[in-house]
Structure 1
């Protein structure tokens, strides 16, 4: 996303952290993907004051921007920051530049809908999470921009989200990828616009459309609002020593079978 929609990233990130208030987790290492220099960092630093932050920055964010934002949020975070990379590196390699079992929390804000294969992202999160770690995420669901599909013609080409998964789809995939106790939630946010030019700018930024025209005649019939379906979820990485189930049968290492003693 770009600067005009930064407030949305911050708002959703803050709501994600609020939803984690009831979660008890000892956090030493956190992977933030994508990391962006927003105002949410102050809340993040307060919530996890001793955590080491591993960053995968969104496109367009410079290292200096991220460092400055973290200093403003909490200057101590500068000295606890660890790996830092760009999201383009993950998109090209499909890998986080982190070893197995190296983080306690993966926090992903408004990314999954931009990935062609979110399942692979979840698999990579499973790899880097420690036993008992947590993944928490948000993304835009398939009802996002639904009012644009009911009017026409439009001065831009409507695009489908790369990953049109609703929260039930995501919950099923989390279970299939061995995550435990997934919790899914969804809410609708409605953005109201004073003019069509502002709406079109956000449509492009959210990657819901492209090839916008600047003709005022073409923009007069656009709806004055835009609906965002925001899906939230979190799940635990538990039982990482267990083999992945095959044909509905789970295979357990015999060394992990204990005997009850009195």
Structure 2
């Protein structure tokens, strides 16, 4: 997402944090993915002042923005072991550059719609989260930009979201990846536009259509509003070290079973 939609990233992050108000969580380490760019790190540092914050930095950040994030992370890492990586690395490998069982909270804002297979992302979250950890996320659902699809205009080269999953799909995926107590909800946001070029700028920033500098002149019936379906969710990592899952069957390691003895009196 580009600078023109930065306000949306900040607004959704605020709403995600509001939803965390009722959650009790002891946080030592946080993974922010993606960080837009460094803004979320600052917000979470205020909310969790004693936590180390590891960042996956958004592509397209300016040199100054990246420098500020790197300086902040490098300064912290001298004493606290903070790590940073790029979103391009995540797209290429579907892996986070941090060890197993190393964070208590994964905070992911408006990312999943850009991933080919969100299950791989959830699998990585499970890997890096500690026992009792929490993944919190938001993403754009399949109804996003429905006004554009209704136009049936060849000049506007629409792109499908890489992951057009609704909240029920994601909820099922969380359960399949062994997360506990998933909570999903959704809301529609409507953006109104006075000028077509503003709408087209956001459409491009949201990756809903290919860039076309002449598009405004070619299309006369552009809508004056754009609907965003924003899906929110969170789920816990519980019993991580007690069981392993294979073919939908849970197997408990015999070494993890505690034995209780009883002495009968006669």
Q: Is the 8 A contact 1:183 1:235 kept in 2?
A: yes
Q: RMSD value over aligned CA atoms? A: 2.4
- What residue number does 2:87 align with? 87
| 1:58 is aligned to 2:80 | no
Deviations 1:93-126 (A, max 9, x none): 2211111100110000000000001100110111
> Aligned partners of 2:203, 2:20: CA distance in 1, in Å?
30
- What residue number does 2:162 align with? 162
Q: Is the 8 A contact 1:156 1:209 kept in 2?
A: yes
Q: TM-score, normalised by structure 2?
A: 0.89
- What residue number does 1:68 align with? 68
1:162–1:24 distance in 2 versus 1, CA, 3 Å: same
- What residue number does 2:209 align with? 209
Q: CA deviation at 1:43?
A: 3.2
> Aligned partners of 1:103, 1:5: CA distance in 2, in Å?
29
- What residue number does 1:102 align with? 102
Deviations 1:4-28 (A, max 9, x none): 1111100101111110111111111
- Specify every segment of 5 or more residues in structure 1 that has no aligned partner in the other structure, as ranges: none
- What residue number does 2:172 align with? 172
When structure 1 is superposed on structure 2, of 151-160 and 131-140 the one drifting more is: 151-160
| 1:18 is aligned to 2:22 | no
1:95–1:62 distance in 2 versus 1, CA, 3 Å: farther
Q: Is the 8 A contact 1:10 1:38 kept in 2?
A: no
1:41–1:97 distance in 2 versus 1, CA, 3 Å: closer
> Aligned partners of 1:240, 1:117: CA distance in 2, in Å?
23
Q: CA deviation at 1:246?
A: 3.2
Q: Which has more radius of gyration?
A: 2
- What residue number does 1:128 align with? 128
1:185–1:261 distance in 2 versus 1, CA, 3 Å: farther
Q: CA deviation at 1:88?
A: 0.8
Deviations 1:230-250 (A, max 9, x none): 000000111112443334421
1:78–1:219 distance in 2 versus 1, CA, 3 Å: farther
Deviations 1:197-235 (A, max 9, x none): 111111111111114352545332011000000000000
Q: TM-score, normalised by structure 1?
A: 0.91
